[in-house]
Structure 1
Amino acid sequence: MDSVLRAAVMYFVVWVLFKVAGRRSLADLTAFDFVLLLIIGEATQQALLGDDFSVTNAVLIISTLIAMDVVFSYAKQRSPALAKLDGGPTIVVENGQPLKARMRQARLTEADIMEAARSNQAVVDMADIQYAIIERNGTLSIIPRPQAQQ
């Protein structure tokens, strides 16, 4: 039972830490982000396993983590308040104007937005962006202005 409790606590601790850290998709990970994830994984392993490195304990921990994720996803479907904890899409550019406060909150720069605009929509000027939206998963969706789609 100790393993199940440790798994549950670590699930929520890591979930909260990643919510505080902000949204970023795996495609946007820097080398530093990747190294940080590896270190977090190793530290989490030590906290989860303690001194019990048996296969049974590992299966119990993995099963607990997956079960918690499934339960949490069902709970989010049934509770709008809980679903809000997961965040929603955030508009960071509107009618060609960067929304600086939202960009700061999402830790995005204009260069990040323009990189997504060039790669996804072949848009090369901020003025040609109707909306740039950071999605729940951290990806940037670019909606060009109608005249920019030509």
Structure 2
Amino acid sequence: METVLRAAGIYLVLMVVFKIAGRRALLQMTSFDLILLLIISEATQQALLGDDFSVTGAALTIITLVAIDIVLGKLKNRFPTIEQMAEGGPVILVEHGNALHQRMKMTGISQDDVLEAARSQGLERLEQIKYAVLEVNGHISIIPVK
């Protein structure tokens, strides 16, 4: 039972940490971010298994994590409020060529990040962007002015 509680606790902690880190952290990984992720995974493994390095303990931990993920997925489908809390929603960063600085600051996205996404569509200036939207997956979608 301790293994199941450890797995559930660590799952919750990681969800909160990555929610606080924001979508940008998941989208654009630097070398530092990769190293940090590896360290987190090692610390997580130690916290999940404790002193139990048996195959049974590892299997129970994996099954618990997968079960939590499945249950959370079903809950998110059934109750949109839970999905909104866990995942958030898309955020408009640029509207009709005007950068929405408060939203950019809140999400940790800079104007340069938006322009980088715009350049991939051949756009060079904010005035050419009707909407720039930070999607739930961390991707910035650009809708050009026609």
The TM-score with structure 1 as length reference comes to 0.92
How many equivalent residue pairs?
A: 145
Please state whether the residue corresponding to 1:9 is helix, strand or coil: helix
Partner-residue secondary structure (3-state), 1:11: helix
- Between the aligned residues of both structures, percent identity stands at 53
- SS of alignment partner, residue 142 of structure 2: strand
For 1:77, what is the secondary structure of its paired residue?
A: helix
Per the alignment, residue 116 of structure 2 pairs with 115
Q: How far off is 1:24 after superposition?
A: 2.5
Once the two structures are superposed, what CA deviation does each residue of 1:74-113 show, in whole Å capped at 9, x if it has no partner? 0011112211112000000001111000000110111111
Matches within 5 A, 1:26-105: 26-85=26-85, 86-105=87-106
Q: CA RMSD in A?
A: 1.1
* 1:25/1:137 contact within 8 Å kept: no
Task: Report the Cα distance in structure 2 between the residues aligned to 1:93 and 1:60, rounded to whole angstroms.
Answer: 46
> Which shows bigger deviation, 134-143 or 21-30?
21-30
Runs (5+) with no aligned partner, structure 2: none
Residues 113 and 132, structure 1, Cα contact 8 Å, conserved in 2: yes
Counterparts of 1:32 and 1:127, CA distance in 2: 34
| Consecutive aligned runs of 4 or more in structure 1 exceeding 2 Å deviation | 24-27
1:122-133 alignment, distance < 5 Å: 122-133=122-133
Cα offset, 1:25, TM superposition: 6.5
Give ranges in structure 1 of 5+ residues lacking alignment.
Answer: none
